[in-house]
Structure 1
C-alpha cells in the first residue's frame, strides 16, 4: 500500500511538472500578445483617432490581464510541483529510517540523490520566466527606444 501511495505522489509530480511546462508556454504566448499590443500603442500618431487610441488601450489592457493570469497559473503550478517533490522526499526519508542495517554513508548518498529533484523544484519556483529571442537582442537602436516606452506602458495603462 505504501508503494501505491508513493507511485501516486510521483504520478502527481509528473502531472504538475507538465503543467509547469504548459503554463510557461502560456506565459510566453501572453508576453508576445503584450508585445503586439504595445506595438499598437507605439504605432499611434497625431493622425490617429480617439477610437484608435481606445482600441490600442483596450488591447493592451486585455493582453496584460491575460499575461497576469498566465503568470499566476505558472507560479501555482511551480508551487504544486515543489510540494510534490518535498512529499516524495519526505516519504523516502521515512523509508530510510526503517532500514536499520543501512550505513550512514549509504543513507547520505541515497538522500542526496533524492534531494536533487526537491532542489531543482525549489530553484524553478524561485526563478522568473524569461521569454526572449536572440534576434530581439540584435535589433536596431529604434527598438531600444521602444523598450523604454514598454517599461512605462503598463503603469500608464493602470492610471
Structure 2
C-alpha cells in the first residue's frame, strides 16, 4: 500500500525533473532536426536540378513518352522539394519556440536573484538572447511575410459618394 501512495509522488517528481531538462534537450533535438531537414532540402533541390536537365535534353526528335517521363520526374522532384521545405519550416519554428522557452526560463531565474545588479542581469540576458535572435533570423530567412493592404481605389470611393449624391438629385429631376 505504501508503494501505491509513493507512486504519484515519484511520478510527479520525475515529470518535474523531465520538464526542467526537457526544454534544453528539446532544443538540441530540434536543432539536429533543422540540420537534417536542411540536408533533405539540398538533396531534393539536387533532384529537381537533375529532373530539369532531363527536361532540357528533350529535342524535337524526343518521343512523347520521353517528354512524359521527364515531366513526371520533374513533378515528383518538385513534390519532394515542397515536402522537404515544409518539414524544414516546421522544424525551424519548433527550434525558435524552444529557444524562446529557454530564454523565458532564464528570465525567471534572473528575476529570483534579487542581489544581482541590473548591469549583471542585462549582460546575462543579452548572452541568453543570442540563440533566440539567431533562431529568429534563420526563420525569417525562409519565411516570406507580406503586408496585406486594404484596397484604396479612389474610384470606388467616388462612385459611392456619387451614388449618394445622385440619389436626391435624381429625385428632384
The answer to whether the superposition gives a TM-score over 0.5 is yes
CA distance in 1, matches of 2:106, 2:55: 54
Q: Contact (CA 8 Å) 1:6, 1:91: kept in 2 or not?
A: no
CA distance in 2, matches of 1:80, 1:6: 18
**Partner deviation per Cα, 1:110-153 (whole Å, 9 max, x = no partner):** 1001000000111111124xxxxxxxxxxxxxxxxxxxxxxxxx
SS at match of 2:60: coil
CA distance in 2, matches of 1:126, 1:11: 24
SS at match of 2:116: coil
Structural mapping, 1:1-159, within 5 Å: 4-128=18-142
TM (norm. structure 2) is 0.72
Unaligned runs of 5+ in 2: 1-12, 143-173
Unaligned runs of 5+ in 1: 129-159
**Partner deviation per Cα, 1:49-71 (whole Å, 9 max, x = no partner):** 00000000000000000000000
Matched length? 129
Structure with higher Rg: it is 2
Aligned-CA RMSD value: 1.5
CA-CA distance at 1:3 after TM superposition = 6.4
CA distance in 2, matches of 1:83, 1:101: 30
CA distance in 2, matches of 1:47, 1:57: 16
